Structure 1
């Protein structure tokens, strides 16, 4: 009997001990890196196999999970394109567990197998978000062989393309100014080279690219339509590595490696990255220009990029990052005989200093100091034979930011992942600054007043798993704007949710309010450097959008496919546009009797956009790519444009299709192709033209001159009639196929790749612009007027040589 009682007592004590152990919750955290380079990996899935419990790594590769203590814990790490790693440990106290992942492809002469990944779009509360692997971007054929992040994003549903070959991004009815483009936390205001034909982002320097079109998390603010977040590589921590390429118009080189190696058992290490790119159009064209001008004229154009980054681990709790981007475009003409020098230049400079600090295993913070500067300049000089300046013109515009950003990630439990942060940006705008000197009229100098404003935001968001079926991301952002004449304080609620119907299938919805306090004035809408950034003022209100979206998400896990179908409706208020006939060459003269300011040249209105998007995507495997389709409608309405009636903006497209395929024929040969189709642009074209007469000279009493004398004092001018409706003409449909083939060869110390590509493979003459022309009808017949279509890019072959070591 006594033994029986002892047995019962022992059993109760054991059960109590086990319950106490299970009720004790401890934390496991760490960093996930790539095995070869020790680069931090963003968005890695960290989970308990066979359960829905898990989390993902943040921008710096950090994760944290708080779980019941146990004698044995199995944790899995999975990421697209990498092999899944499983670790089993004793889990009785707080534990730090770092993991390294290796690319999950097994290459052989006859077979390539894609890595399985447990990442499921159906289990994420976020919708309207697209993550593009940089390795996939490098395989897609583009114009002149220059790999371009923004042009690849144009191939996604919901993203409309600009004109032929342009990098313009128009997301769900929004303009190019409504995209928040950030590189290592720094805002890039003009992301274009070569007047919009290439972007400023060198793919060799990038680690990740992510596009968010709706359902914005609360940590993002300041734009209406999209967030394009790019992160630069940290630099290889293990060994010196380089890659580069030589193409038709530009060459590039990237070097990365350790500054100090992590000694065995130590926790300190440092690495660097330097990446540069430059065109040589000016070098190639210079001999031809000099030959045609007898050596009297020099002209050219070039652009360059420079990315640099350094990082240093101070230990397990502190990490420092310093990164920057510098780029410039320059076009110039020098006429020695005429004494004329003309130049146009524009460029960006950014710098970011970041400090990561781990307070506890549940609390991660990042402090960022950020600098961003965009400038546009026109210079024209004329000198006399004596060397004196007869005429001098300087035109400048730009925007400069200095900002402070602080973010905290808190992981209280597997059900909650909380983010809190704030950011304050000090903007300095130069809408237009003109310096003019003319010796004939003595000297005239005028500089526009610089405008200083403060834009701030504070946010909190929580990714919550209330049950096995629900995934919710909810948050609130409070934005604040202060200019000397006016101030705004506006709340911005955000909500995204997913309901998991069954494994691999979910229904999603989102709602977001966004405010935008900076505006872009554009005559063309294609992102030229003449576009002006201006702030909200007492006369120009902030832009605001509301967007709601619903959709379904499906994972075909055994095939590596994901399918998303979304419908959205978005409204936009206080969007601005130039008035008819207004120009970017503004002169704000405070001494003028009219006191004309840039606000007098713009008009405010509203817009709305709605549609549906379809995306079937495969990121890894021997065959990868996607198929996307967009059905959409966008309209704008301004009181002072089109008689106050709604009209379709230039890049409204009813149908937009993109097909992208990448096929690894063998370890040595990669084939890629894209095909795009889009409804034609909405344009305003002349419907006819006529002759009009105007005075040949300025005469104050012209109306009193006899009628038979007036024709002698008049000149004839041709006037084009544009009708009454704005953008009432539809251009022909746009479609094009691109094709590329890469030949790889691995040698003992390096790898080389020859690439050959064809832009517009079947030589489609897509419309670039339309113009009225006179067409002869033979003798004794008046010419007729016809509308002609002009194209710019026929089939364009390209080749490049790329290398790695």
Structure 2
């Protein structure tokens, strides 16, 4: 009954929006007065790059709109002799345009990069994008890519995900990692999108870097709650990134050389003004540095190395105002290899992503914009291990593979009937192909054993409608519904997902906000390592494993300080999660100890389902423009999980529950040639399960593998084993805090611009905990040893230098 009521209400809302006669705020309808439309595209001057989220508004009023993902806008207003519009965007000089407005008008605008001038305050009291107090959207944060490039970075590598970790409501994983934990959710509950394609593993170097090269990105947005209906399939957050399109006017490039990696980006026209290309590549050279050292130390017997690379590419063609075509892709790999010639051992560890998106924009009319996307996404992981046979000894060979591959079709419509309504409709269907594990094992002792898990094919679809509605001058509402569908063998789920966000303007630049969202997730990530290893597995919903589901309610206050370029948001939220899954104690997919029983074990036998709660408050004070920019963020939160088969069925705090989390980020342009930046972060220590003591085994015992689960070979009599308490995660690590600083020196040459950057990670050398373990400590001669809990850290103060250039 509740679902039917929601569907009927939304249908009435959308019907009224589509067929109702639009009127200006505070004006009675006049039958004799016609309405006309002004529409067009907003691009960057000099490159013709489409700009996302540009404010288009009538000065002195609240009437306006913003450009969509492809730079398109549309405004339908009563006809008049002339119409004055302002176009403004963060980091660009505003533009005013006056046009005759007696008939439908196409108006394309170019914005010039540069500092926001004082005229913006005079014309519209805006600093660029839509004010946070005027938008109905809650819990959304966007960080300009130009600002990301100025923030101090670990080893000089600018990382989008690490910058998002500095935002309230977002917890990082372990020290130095790019793990994202949003409002109590796990890393699999984040929908990470690059040009419409889902990226399933966003980590390089075991989580220390993300796969996203900032030089190739145009925009980054994080949504933590109040999700618009167009997004689905995850419980906790949406991280949407769009790649640059490429310069349509002239060839440009930028790149950098750092301590561990170098990168290069090239963009330029294919047909000037019509089409362009973008190619961006990055590669580490850790293997070139480490390989000769390892080889020398081993006397030439050992060869080992590790490297990763990224490649982004995009081409587009403008067929005119009605049709545009885009083709983009991302390819990345991590490779670790080690070979010992003396022992005859050869080990490999490889994982990587590949995505591809073909998009077609079509303008049906000056009010109706459509986009069709064909999307491919593939994630693969492989372990290989070979041991050669010497003098009749056992020869061993292992291949372990897992992954997920998607083929998707997506269709979206943007309809702009009036300034009071902006409607979006669409549908998406995805064919998932899961390979939870495929093991091939050969051994001369057991002759030959081969075990392969069959691939699992499932279908996931979604149908949505949403409306950004301004019923009065004070109300801003985004109402919508998504109908999600999942099919696997005999399993079928059809679930409505209502969404609602609303803002009530108390007075100019100040509003109250509230939101509600119900989300379903049909794919799951199995992880028992806690340190972001690529051995974590993606698996689907089945007849035994139900879809995850969350409900989230949030309320808050938003305030714009337009004259200072500041915005302040304060939000409180409460979130419940159902059917979240985890490994049972000691479970694993790496069945190498007893491979002959592998075919008897299904992955569903190794998991248990439970529920979770997360609630808290977040504060964000942000400044995006001016010589001094940055933000201050603070989070107070609680997260608890409960599984019938873990911790005796009692509630416990998951590892990344943090009571307090704070960040201060500042960027100061001392002069056009010098930029200073700094960041300070603080977080309550992680909830951990640590050993409480040690004892010697008095019989042969199997022990659990702390990294992959399962059982290790049996302990011999007298060997030492750790003892753990009865409750899970009752130990709190010490608080985490550190400070990073950076200084950039810019210089413009005749044909290029160069930047030297010097940065320091963990300036005051804080020994933050990475993990804890028990070890023996000598007490002196003749005294027995004492068992002590030791804290281990990984990153002391880390200086770095990099050279960046543009031409």
TM-score category of the 2 structures, normalised to the smaller one? over 0.9
Q: Which residue number corresponds to residue 523 of structure 2?
A: 518
Correspondence for 1:214 among 210, 213, 225: 225
Task: Tell me, in whole angstroms, the C-alpha distance in 1 between the residues paired with 2:201 and 2:560.
Answer: 37
Question: What are the Cα deviations for residues 344-368 of structure 1, in whole angstroms up to 9, with x where unaligned?
Answer: 0000000000000001111100000
1:162 Cα deviation after fit: 0.8
1:339 Cα deviation after fit: 2.6
Correspondence for 1:380 among 345, 365, 385: 385
Aligned in 2, Cα 1:594/1:357: closer, same or farther, shift over 3 Å? closer
Aligned 8 A contact 1:694 1:717 in 2: no
Q: Which residue number corresponds to residue 436 of structure 1?
A: 441
Task: Tell me, in whole angstroms, the C-alpha distance in 2 between the residues paired with 1:607 and 1:480.
Answer: 23
Task: Tell me, in whole angstroms, the C-alpha distance in 2 between the residues paired with 1:205 and 1:167.
Answer: 19
1:527 Cα deviation after fit: 2.5
Q: Does 1:179 align with 2:193?
A: no
Q: Which residue number corresponds to residue 235 of structure 1?
A: 246
The 5 A counterparts of 1:14-33 are 23-33=33-43
Q: Single out whichever of 773-782 and 461-470 deviates more from structure 2.
A: 773-782
When the two structures are superposed, what TM-score results if normalisation uses the length of structure 1?
Answer: 0.92
Task: Tell me, in whole angstroms, the C-alpha distance in 2 between the residues paired with 1:722 and 1:417.
Answer: 57
1:384 Cα deviation after fit: 3.8
Q: Which residue number corresponds to residue 281 of structure 1?
A: 286
Q: Does 1:71 align with 2:73?
A: no
Q: Which residue number corresponds to residue 723 of structure 1?
A: 725
Task: Tell me, in whole angstroms, the C-alpha distance in 2 between the residues paired with 1:546 and 1:115.
Answer: 34
Aligned 8 A contact 1:281 1:300 in 2: yes
Aligned 8 A contact 2:55 2:128 in 1: no
Task: Tell me, in whole angstroms, the C-alpha distance in 2 between the residues paired with 1:389 and 1:577.
Answer: 36
1:792 Cα deviation after fit: 0.4
The 5 A counterparts of 1:186-225 are 186-225=197-236
Q: Which residue number corresponds to residue 96 of structure 2?
A: 86
Aligned in 2, Cα 1:396/1:118: closer, same or farther, shift over 3 Å? closer
Task: Tell me, in whole angstroms, the C-alpha distance in 1 between the residues paired with 2:392 and 2:115.
Answer: 67
Correspondence for 2:551 among 546, 549, 553: 546
Which structure's CA Rg is the greater one? 1
1:425 Cα deviation after fit: 0.4
Aligned 8 A contact 1:105 1:115 in 2: no
Task: Tell me, in whole angstroms, the C-alpha distance in 1 between the residues paired with 2:442 and 2:663.
Answer: 52
Q: Does 1:506 align with 2:484?
A: no
Q: Does 1:391 align with 2:396?
A: yes
Q: Does 1:43 align with 2:48?
A: no
Correspondence for 2:736 among 731, 734, 737: 734
Task: Tell me, in whole angstroms, the C-alpha distance in 2 between the residues paired with 1:349 and 1:173.
Answer: 29
Q: Does 1:661 align with 2:672?
A: no
Q: Which residue number corresponds to residue 294 of structure 1?
A: 299
Q: Which residue number corresponds to residue 127 of structure 1?
A: 138
Q: Does 1:470 align with 2:475?
A: yes
Aligned 8 A contact 2:664 2:679 in 1: yes
Task: Tell me, in whole angstroms, the C-alpha distance in 2 between the residues paired with 1:117 and 1:524.
Answer: 44
Aligned 8 A contact 2:116 2:127 in 1: no
Q: Does 1:622 align with 2:632?
A: no
Task: Tell me, in whole angstroms, the C-alpha distance in 1 between the residues paired with 2:184 and 2:220.
Answer: 22
Q: Single out whichever of 577-586 and 222-231 deviates more from structure 2.
A: 577-586
The 5 A counterparts of 1:315-394 are 315-384=320-389, 390-394=395-399
Question: What are the Cα deviations for residues 435-471 of structure 1, in whole angstroms up to 9, with x where unaligned?
Answer: 1112333221111111000000000000000010000
Aligned 8 A contact 1:22 1:69 in 2: no
Aligned 8 A contact 1:589 1:596 in 2: no
The 5 A counterparts of 1:329-728 are 329-384=334-389, 390-586=395-591, 595-695=600-700, 715-728=717-730
Q: Which residue number corresponds to residue 748 of structure 1?
A: 750
Aligned in 2, Cα 1:538/1:20: closer, same or farther, shift over 3 Å? closer
Q: Single out whichever of 19-28 and 437-446 deviates more from structure 2.
A: 19-28
Aligned 8 A contact 1:397 1:433 in 2: yes
Aligned 8 A contact 1:432 1:587 in 2: no
Aligned 8 A contact 2:126 2:562 in 1: no
1:142 Cα deviation after fit: 1.4
Aligned in 2, Cα 1:435/1:272: closer, same or farther, shift over 3 Å? same
1:782 Cα deviation after fit: 1.4
1:592 Cα deviation after fit: 5.6
Correspondence for 1:776 among 770, 775, 778: 778
1:595 Cα deviation after fit: 2.9
Correspondence for 1:53 among 45, 63, 69: 63
Q: Single out whichever of 683-692 and 751-760 deviates more from structure 2.
A: 683-692
1:779 Cα deviation after fit: 2.5
Question: What are the Cα deviations for residues 659-692 of structure 1, in whole angstroms up to 9, with x where unaligned?
Answer: 0000000000000000000000000001111122
Aligned 8 A contact 1:21 1:70 in 2: no
Q: Which residue number corresponds to residue 707 of structure 1?
A: none
Question: What are the Cα deviations for residues 500-545 of structure 1, in whole angstroms up to 9, with x where unaligned?
Answer: 0000000000000000000000012333201000000000000000
Correspondence for 1:146 among 140, 157, 165: 157
Q: Which residue number corresponds to residue 137 of structure 1?
A: 148
1:341 Cα deviation after fit: 1.3
Task: Tell me, in whole angstroms, the C-alpha distance in 1 between the residues paired with 2:56 and 2:309.
Answer: 40
Secondary structure of the corresponding residue to residue 411 of structure 1: strand
Aligned 8 A contact 2:92 2:116 in 1: no
Aligned in 2, Cα 1:459/1:71: closer, same or farther, shift over 3 Å? same
Q: Single out whichever of 555-564 and 95-104 deviates more from structure 2.
A: 95-104
Structure 2 alignment gaps of length 5 or more: 1-28, 118-124, 703-714
Secondary structure of the corresponding residue to residue 697 of structure 2: strand
Q: Does 1:159 align with 2:170?
A: yes
Aligned 8 A contact 2:93 2:116 in 1: no
Superposed CA RMSD in Å reads 2.1
Aligned 8 A contact 1:22 1:68 in 2: no
Task: Tell me, in whole angstroms, the C-alpha distance in 2 between the residues paired with 1:200 and 1:590.
Answer: 34
Q: Which residue number corresponds to residue 703 of structure 1?
A: none
Secondary structure of the corresponding residue to residue 715 of structure 1: coil
Aligned 8 A contact 2:262 2:283 in 1: yes
Task: Tell me, in whole angstroms, the C-alpha distance in 2 between the residues paired with 1:103 and 1:645.
Answer: 56
Alignment length (residue pairs): 761
When the two structures are superposed, what TM-score results if normalisation uses the length of structure 2?
Answer: 0.92
Q: Which residue number corresponds to residue 15 of structure 2?
A: none
Task: Tell me, in whole angstroms, the C-alpha distance in 1 between the residues paired with 2:169 and 2:490.
Answer: 37
Task: Tell me, in whole angstroms, the C-alpha distance in 2 between the residues paired with 1:541 and 1:318.
Answer: 42
Task: Tell me, in whole angstroms, the C-alpha distance in 2 between the residues paired with 1:392 and 1:714.
Answer: 27
Aligned in 2, Cα 1:593/1:329: closer, same or farther, shift over 3 Å? closer
1:714 Cα deviation after fit: 7.0
Aligned 8 A contact 1:256 1:274 in 2: yes
1:292 Cα deviation after fit: 1.1
Q: Which residue number corresponds to residue 21 of structure 2?
A: none
1:118 Cα deviation after fit: 6.2
Aligned 8 A contact 1:83 1:115 in 2: no
Aligned in 2, Cα 1:696/1:505: closer, same or farther, shift over 3 Å? closer
Secondary structure of the corresponding residue to residue 718 of structure 2: strand
Aligned 8 A contact 2:451 2:598 in 1: no
Task: Tell me, in whole angstroms, the C-alpha distance in 1 between the residues paired with 2:700 and 2:250.
Answer: 76
Aligned 8 A contact 2:54 2:128 in 1: no
Task: Tell me, in whole angstroms, the C-alpha distance in 1 between the residues paired with 2:166 and 2:190.
Answer: 16
Correspondence for 1:249 among 228, 249, 260: 260
Task: Tell me, in whole angstroms, the C-alpha distance in 2 between the residues paired with 1:127 and 1:180.
Answer: 17
Aligned 8 A contact 2:230 2:465 in 1: yes
